[in-house]
Chain A
Amino acid sequence: MNTSPIELNHVTKTYGDFKAVDDISFTVPEGTVCGFLGPNGAGKTTSIRMMLDILRPSSGTISILGARRALDVRSRIGYLPEEKGLYKKMTATAMIAYFATLKGVAGGEAKRIAGELLEKYGLGSFQNHKCEALSKGMGQKVQVLASIAHDPDLVILDEPFSGLDPVNQGVMEEVIQDIRSRGKTILFSTHVMSHAERICERVVIMAAGRLAFDGTVDEAKSLLPRRVRVKGKGAGAALEQLKDVTHSSPSSDGREGVAEFQLREGADPQQLLKCAFEQNISLEIFEVVNPNLHEVFVHLVGEEAREAAYR
């Protein structure tokens, strides 16, 4: 297939005067795990709903698995919404099977798959328990399984990790890795950068309804310059003068006497080591710090996130 599973072209969604999503365009290539990041109110859920054709964009076009409308290819899409719920009186198996049948899986087959999935992800003994009897983590697992029981080509997960304890977060990562290993495409939104950094190949970052970044994780990290942390007598004054250093400050990790130097893009940290050696400065600490996704995120959306919080 030539087309990407998800393609958004100048998509805008307005509610009255308010622009929830403002002219965003991005694509998610087939077979990738893409993190969909952004602070609260950035427009992630609205965008996801538009991708799924639950909401219609005010302008712009969306293509999902090559179709104009997600409903035309609904049997190939799995979706887990941000706020999760279950039919309290249905059993875990019936719940998963029901959603699979809505995606076109035959009744008997759906039940079989539901049983297998529950077994595989550690809920085998809860197959016939009513959903109201499950713990929150279990319930959420059941919902994720309900969204993937029909083996979709594209899985969209809205905040899949929220409300899960670390053990269940691990299980959720496992589920995502399993889907990826079968060559499926995954888009998931999250606030937790460490998950995105571990799992994603690509990230799309939104802020205040606009697209702030779209690219690979490495590309995202390269948006921020690298830093070097140094401790040694007279090191601060000497290294500050170097042309590759753009900024110096006490170390952001709070260690006493450690200075942090921000480097110009493309600069080699070894230059600082060389300089210190030449000037006979004895170094106690010399660390090269690569930016992480969290820093990139704060750098990109920090202001908007604060604005959004006050909006």
Chain B
Amino acid sequence: MMQIYRIAHREYMENVKTKGFWIGILLFPILIWMMIELPKFLEERGIPTRHLVIVDRSEGLGEIARQRITLLNRQKTLGELQQHIAKATEEQRKEKMEEVDIDPDQLLDQLEQGLDQLGNPDLEIQPFKPDQLVKIGDLLPEQMLLNDLQWNNIKKLLLSQLPDDAPEFIEPPLRFKEVTLPEGVSLTDGDQQIEDALRPYLRSEMMLKSNDEEVELFGLLIIPENALEPKARVRFWSSNLADTDLIDTVLDSLSEEARQQEYDRRGIESKAVAEVASMRVRSIKFNPNKSEGDEKVGIRDKIRQYAPIGFVYMLWVAIFTIAQMLLNNTIEEKSNRLIEVLLSSVTTTELLLGKVFGVAAVGVTMQCAWIGSLIGILRYKSGPSATWIADLIAAVITPELLGGFVFYFIAGYFFYAFLFAGIGSICNTIKEAQNFMSPLMLLMMVPLGTMTFIPNDPNGAIATTLSWIPPWTPFVMMNRMAASPPASEIYGTAIMLLISVVVVFWLSAKIFRIGVLRSGQPPKLLELFRWLRGSHS
């Protein structure tokens, strides 16, 4: 036992001292942090106002498009305003723990009163509760947003309801802004002429003037005269066609207009159609596995259903990084003949176990650091603006998921570690090992491939079958954990997995014993079988 500990201790200390280990430890939280922060960062800084020129040859369609662009801009501002309100009222909302029922009609009435009061300060109005302030943005009808006066008043009203110490709201830059044609180009010019003239601007070779500022031209939109006819095409020029928000918005608005005109032509009341089209049959989802009275399936359950994917991925990465570590240093010890000195001091079994335990400790350290930093980051980021994070934490930290993760990590690791150590022992170089690794890698890819579809049918035939195949058991079962698979399967596959670990250990120890002392070419398969049958050494 002491020898196993000493070997494990050395393995652990030597691995922990490597740069790779620390990069591995630090990279994960950095990646998670970036995954959370990057989209926000890009949204805040990355997308500047896009400037565009609209050439409207039709009667009034340009106006429709412009309105829709304004709506888009204001919705963006509204979103930011809501976040600002959420942040500013965070304290207040935390204090009042009781849920406030929000009645949309009543809330809108309250808003109307508030807007009236802006024009007439003597009017008494009912103050908004913090929760109402956060929610109200979702209820605003489009007409209100499109009405300049109302829009400005809404902003003013909502901001006036914030606590005194709330920070100032800084309006985000507009998403899209229309600019006029540059000098020398006129709307009376032909489309072709305008396109040719704007080409250098669209290529960012020249800058446009807008409010005495030099700006880059993002897009040119030409709406033809008969834009609503089936054969007509709206022409959209941009050197960044990946950003489809603008053209999608414009096409949506024009399509709507086309439909409206068609309804009118056929004498159909469009409002009725819209009402009919908005009809939805809704459902409530129940899960019989949940406790009585709590069978309703909510967002938390959804997260819970898919959270294991994260665990499976982590399991996979962890098992294979550290098993690979084991493979590499077995080959190192073998190729520099240290193994022979070791074997004069310890048995092959002690050596094999010592190495596997030592590297396992490295893996556990890494996992703890990862999970710890993940929970730490999520807790830190969790707040009213990101309630999904709290849902995620609650969904993830459950005995079956964490317990499953620990068990499948240990069992899966030992399964693959013994396999890799066996391979390491018969190879003198990493290159030789690669020949053996290729089929093994294919075997390992299977759980990755099934990772995303198993949560859709966690107790189905495929998932059940795969669970019983030991190399895949840890991943597939981990993936199914949230769906409460039958206890017989949990224990059955676990016992099967443990037996396989013992078998793989026994086989590997046999190969290891002969392999580590062997130099020259790795053995052929047939020879390996002979080793296993014991007709060697």
A74, B344: Cβ atoms closer than 8 Å: yes
- Partner of A102 from the list B18, B333, B346 (CB cut-off 8 Å) is B346
- Residues of B304-356 at the interface with A, using a CB-CB cut-off of 8 Å, are 333, 335-338, 340-347
Q: What's the nearest-Cβ distance from chain B to residue A97, in Å?
A: 10
Additional 19 contacts, C-beta under 8 A, given A15-B536, A83-B337: A49-B340, A52-B344, A54-B517, A55-B517, A55-B537, A70-B344, A74-B346, A81-B337, A81-B340, A82-B337, A85-B333, A86-B336, A87-B14, A89-B14, A90-B14, A98-B10, A101-B6, A143-B341, A146-B341
State whether B337 touches A102 (Cβ < 8 A): no
- Which residue of chain B has its CB nearest to the CB of A100? B345
Q: Please name all residues of chain A whose beta carbon is closer than 8 Å to the beta carbon of B333 when the two chains form the complex.
A: 85
Complex contacts, B335 vs chain A, CB 8 Å: 85
Q: Is A10 an interface residue (CB 8 A)?
A: no
Known: A49-B517, A86-B336. A99 touches B536 (CB 8 A): no
Identify which of A56, A70, A85 contacts B338 (C-beta below 8 A). A85
Give a binary string over A53-74; 1 marks a CB under 8 Å from any B CB, 0 the rest: 0111000000000000011001
Q: How many chain B residues touch the partner (CB < 8 A)? A: 23
Q: Give min CB distance, B519 to chain A, whole Å.
A: 8
12 residue pairs from A and B, CB less than 8 Å apart: A55-B517, A71-B346, A74-B346, A79-B341, A80-B341, A85-B336, A86-B338, A89-B14, A89-B18, A98-B10, A102-B3, A146-B341
Q: Is B266 an interface residue (CB 8 A)?
A: no
| Minimum distance in angstroms from B344 CB to a CB of chain A | 4
Q: Residue B17 at the A interface, CB < 8 A?
A: yes
Interface: A147 (CB within 8 A): yes
With A55-B537, A84-B337, A87-B14 known as contacts, the answer to whether A103 contacts B345 (CB < 8 A) is: yes
A230 at interface by CB-CB < 8 Å = no
Is the pair A77, B14 in contact by a Cβ cutoff of 8 Å? Answer: no
Contacts of A71 in B (CB 8 A): 346-347
Q: Which residues of B contact A86 (CB under 8 A)?
A: 336, 338
Question: CB within 8 Å of A: which residues of B?
Answer: 3, 6-7, 10, 14, 17-18, 333, 335-338, 340-347, 517, 536-537
A81 CA to B337 CA in the complex, in Å? Answer: 8
Give the CA-CA distance A90 to B13 in the complex, in Å. Answer: 10
Closest to A13 in B: B537
Measured CA separation A287–B6 after assembly (Å): 61
- The chain B residue sitting closest to A45, CB to CB, is B340
| B344 and A77 form a contact (CB under 8 A) | yes
The smallest C-beta distance from A102 to any residue of chain B, in angstroms, reads: 4
Q: Which residues of B contact A55 (CB under 8 A)?
A: 517, 537
Q: Is the CB of B10 within 8 A of A85?
A: no
CB distance from A70 to the nearest CB of B (A): 7
Contact status of A54 and B345, CB under 8 A, knowing A83-B337, A84-B337, A85-B336: no
A103, B341: Cα distance in complex, Å: 11
How many residues on the A side are at the interface (Cβ–Cβ under 8 A)? 30
Which B residues touch A77, using CB under 8 A?
Answer: 344
Q: Are B14 and A102 interface neighbours, CB within 8 A?
A: no
Q: Is the CB of A54 within 8 A of B344?
A: yes
Choose from B18, B337, B345, B347 the contact partner of A85 (Cβ within 8 Å): B337
Contacting residues, chain B, for A74 (C-beta < 8 A)? 344-346
A102 touching B517, Cβ below 8 Å: no
Contact A99 B345 (CB under 8 A): yes
Determine the chain B residues whose CB is within 8 A of the CB of A102 once the complex forms: 3, 6-7, 342, 345-346
Contacts of B345 in A (CB 8 A): 74, 99, 102-103
**Quick check: B517 and A87 within 8 Å, CB to CB?**
no
User: What 0/1 pattern do residues 30 to 59 of A give for CB contact below 8 A with B?
Assistant: 000000000000000000010010111000
Residues of B within 8 A of A54 (CB): 340, 343-344, 517
List the B side residues contacting A56 at CB < 8 Å: 537
Contacts of A70 in B (CB 8 A): 344
Residues of A within 8 A of B343 (CB): 52, 54
In the bound complex, what is the Cα–Cα distance between A99 and B342 (angstroms)?
Answer: 8
B270 to chain A, nearest CB (A): 76
What is the chain A residue whose CB lies nearest that of B18? A89
Q: Closest approach, in angstroms, between the C-beta of A45 and any C-beta of chain B? A: 9
Interface string of A132-148 (1 = CB under 8 A from B): 00000000000100110
Residues of A within 8 A of B537 (CB): 55-56
Which chain B positions have C-beta within 8 A of A98?
A: 6, 10
Q: Which 6 A-B pairs have the closest CB atoms?
A: A85-B336, A83-B337, A102-B345, A79-B344, A81-B340, A85-B337
Measured CA separation A56–B343 after assembly (Å): 13
CA distance A71 to B350 in the complex (A): 12
**Which residues from A are CB-within-8-Å of B17?**
89
List A contacts of B10 (CB < 8 A).
Answer: 98
The winner among A54, A55, A74, A103 for most chain B CB atoms within 10 A is A54
Q: Which A residues lie within 8 Å of B347 (CB)?
A: 71
Contacts of B341 in A (CB 8 A): 79-81, 99, 143, 146-147
When each residue 86-118 of chain A gets 1 if its CB lies under 8 Å from chain B and 0 otherwise, what string results?
111110000000110111000000000000000
A80 to chain B, nearest CB (A): 8
- CB A243 to nearest CB in B, in angstroms, measures 54
Residues in B with CB closer than 8 Å to A84 are 337
A88 to B336, CA, bound (A): 10
Q: Which residues of A contact B14 (CB under 8 A)?
A: 87, 89-90
Which chain B residues border A101 with CB–CB below 8 Å? 6
Name the residue on A nearest B345 (C-beta): A102
How far apart are A90's CB and chain B's nearest CB, in angstroms?
7
Closest residue of A by beta carbon distance from B535: A16
Alpha-carbon separation in the docked complex, A133 to B14 (Å) = 17
- In this complex, which of B10, B341, B536, B537 has the most chain A Cβ atoms within 10 angstroms of its Cβ? B341
What residues of A have a CB within 8 angstroms of the CB of B3 in the complex?
A: 102
Cα separation A259 to B18 with both chains bound (whole Å): 69
Which residue of the partner chain B has the closest CB to A46? Answer: B517
Shortest distance from the beta carbon of B402 to any chain A beta carbon, whole Å: 34
User: In the complex the two chains form, what is the Cα distance from A77 to B344 in whole Å?
Assistant: 8
Q: Which residues of chain B come closer than 8 Å to A90, judged between CB atoms?
A: 14
> B2: nearest residue on chain A (CB-CB)?
A104
Give complex CA distance A74, B350 in Å: 14
Q: For A99, what are the chain B residues with a Cβ–Cβ distance below 8 Å?
A: 341, 345
A83–B334 Cα distance when bound, in Å, is 11
Question: Is the pair A87, B342 in contact by a Cβ cutoff of 8 Å?
Answer: no
From residue B424, how far is it (CB to closest CB) to chain A in Å?
A: 15
* Chain A residues in 8 Å Cβ range of B340: 49, 54, 79, 81, 83
Chain B nearest CB from A6 CB (Å) reads: 14
**Chain A residues within an 8 Å CB radius of B338:** 85-87
Q: A70 CA to B346 CA in the complex, in Å?
A: 10
Instruction: Tell me how far the C-beta of B459 lies from the nearest C-beta in chain A, rounded to whole angstroms.
Output: 48
Instruction: Indicate the member of B17, B340, B536 with the most A CB atoms within 10 Å.
Output: B340
Least CB distance from A207 to B in Å reads 22
CB distance from B143 to the nearest CB of A (A): 71
Bound CA–CA A79/B335 (angstroms): 18
- Shortest Cβ distance from B338 into A: residue: A85
Bound: A103/B344 CA distance, A: 9
Q: How many whole Å from A136's CB to the nearest CB in chain B? A: 13
Minimum Cβ distance to chain A for residue B391 (Å): 45
A79 proximity list for chain B (CB < 8 A): 340-341, 344
**Distance (whole angstroms) from the CB of A20 to the closest CB of chain B:** 11
Bound-state Cα–Cα, A278 to B281, Å: 137
A54 to chain B minimum Cβ distance, whole angstroms, is 5
Q: For the complex, give the distance between the alpha carbons of A89 and B19 in Å.
A: 12
A15 to B537, alpha carbons, bound, how many Å? 7
How long is the Cα–Cα vector from A52 to B347 in the complex, in angstroms?
A: 11
